[in-house]
């Protein structure tokens, strides 16, 4: 029934990744969640095995593979029991900005390290007073000779502690139009004036090092600007589509994974001498959740196919992002009821995903933002 053409090479890659997850990630996942960070060495292990930045062209040190390899990584990492080694965030959300908009010098300098895992990336858009409305960013970038001076603060930045390279969205205070004032800049770890604030404590995604970033008279070479000056808003809008698709891929896979675990649980656990799976209410609940998951999978695969073929699927991408995040949250909430006390155990995938999935209706654009864009596409 699938419409995506996975080849034998794709499936061999998937199995290698599954083996890596079983050997190198799952045994360490609980510690990473407790420590609230992933050791950089484990990022490098992913890079050494070819699981990072799979789309980067060979001329920049990457394998130049198609988007289905990115789909495989996003899907299989959902089963790893941790959120900190966010390969999809690094490889398919942040690094594409560098490859698409960086100069040749920038690409040759940074992309090989992004592939190998020696460079962990972050993107700094969100500010204390600017979230989904990126045009309201207040961080400034002022040119002075051959340098750009950045001043401002960012918050809720994923990979904020580990990042070796961060893409910073900042505005030219001399440009009146908010949309035309925004540009994107690369800031390397260790640059004077670039400091980290709090390592933020969150209700979920514990191993994901989320932090505040501060820029105080942070001077970078003018060559570290991505694309054209004032083109930041357009670049962000272009790349947000893939970010939202990557989010949806993880949401749907999480739902499938949890549903599989729930079916196993209900078949093997009894109430009054009868398996839970034989209770009509339980059967109906699982049937409903399976249907919703299948519907989201069907739309997701169609959107992935359209994305790979370069179709105009802006509205459909918004649909699957919002639909999958809401569906996955509703699914894990209902499964918590089925699992009862067992679902609340920290060792259970249900408890883990109950926390981790909640943010998915917010990041990469809230459900309300998604509905607004869909309505605009409908001419409303």
Q: Which residues are catalytic?
A: 243
- Report the distance separating Cα 141 and Cα 370, nearest Å: 29
Structure tokens at 296: 């989201």
What residues are paired with 218 via a beta bridge?
150
52 Cβ partners below 8 Å, 6+ apart? 43, 46, 87, 90, 91, 114, 115, 116, 117
Residue whose pair of structure tokens reads 């920038």 in the numeric block: 106
Structure tokens at 63: 């394998």
Instruction: Tell me which residue of 255, 259, 188 sits closest to 218, measured CA to CA.
Output: 188
**Positions of E strands within the chain:** 121-124, 140-144, 147-158, 165-171, 182-188, 194-199, 210-221, 225-226, 270-271, 274-275
Burial class (CB in 10 A: 0-12, 13-18, 19+), 106: middle
**What is the DSSP-derived secondary structure letter of residue 127?**
B
Instruction: Tell me which residue of 219, 221, 236 sits closest to 181, measured CA to CA.
Output: 236
- Report the distance separating Cα 34 and Cα 360, nearest Å: 21
Q: How many residues does this entry show for the chain?
A: 380
Instruction: Tell me which residue of 278, 280, 260 sits closest to 269, measured CA to CA.
Output: 278
Q: Would you give the distance in Å from CA 267 to the centre of its chain? A: 33
- Report the distance separating Cα 148 and Cα 297, nearest Å: 45
């Amino acid at each position: 029934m699938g419409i995506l053409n996975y080849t034998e090479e794709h499936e061999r890659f998937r199995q290698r990744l599954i083996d890596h997850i079983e050997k190198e990630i799952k045994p360490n996942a609980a510690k990473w969640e407790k420590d609230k960070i992933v050791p950089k060495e484990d990022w490098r292990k992913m890079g050494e095995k070819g699981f990072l930045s799979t789309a980067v062209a060979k001329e920049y040190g990457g394998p130049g593979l198609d988007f289905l390899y990115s789909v495989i990584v996003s899907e299989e990492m959902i089963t790893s029991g941790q959120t900190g080694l966010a390969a999809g965030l690094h490889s398919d959300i942040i690094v594409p900005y560098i490859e698409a908009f960086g100069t040749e010098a920038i690409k040759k300098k940074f992309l090989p390290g992004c592939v190998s895992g020696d460079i962990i990336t972050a993107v700094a858009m969100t500010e204390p007073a600017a979230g989904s409305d990126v045009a309201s960013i207040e961080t400034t970038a002022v040119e002075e000779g051959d340098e750009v001076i950045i001043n401002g603060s960012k918050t809720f930045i994923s990979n904020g502690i580990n990042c070796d390279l961060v893409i910073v969205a900042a505005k030219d205070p001399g440009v009146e139009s908010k949309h035309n004032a925004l540009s994107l800049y690369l800031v390397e770890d260790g640059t004077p004036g670039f400091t980290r604030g709090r390592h933020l404590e969150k209700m979920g995604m514990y191993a994901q090092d989320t932090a505040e970033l501060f820029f105080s008279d942070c001077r970078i070479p003018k060559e570290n600007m991505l694309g054209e000056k004032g083109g930041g808003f357009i670049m962000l809008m272009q790349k947000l589509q893939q970010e939202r698709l990557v989010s949806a891929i993880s949401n749907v896979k999480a739902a499938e994974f949890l549903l599989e675990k729930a079916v196993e649980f209900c078949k093997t656990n009894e109430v009054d001498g009868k398996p839970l799976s034989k209770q009509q209410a339980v059967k109906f609940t699982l049937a409903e959740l399976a249907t919703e998951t299948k519907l989201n999978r069907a739309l997701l695969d169609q959107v992935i196919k359209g994305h790979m073929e370069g179709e105009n699927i802006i509205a459909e991408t918004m649909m699957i992002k919002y639909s999958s995040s809401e569906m996955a949250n509703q699914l894990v909430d209902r499964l918590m009821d089925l699992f009862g006390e067992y679902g609340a155990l920290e060792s259970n995938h249900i408890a883990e995903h109950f926390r981790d999935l909640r943010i998915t209706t917010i990041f990469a654009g809230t459900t309300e933002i998604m509905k607004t864009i869909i309505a605009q596409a409908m001419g409303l």
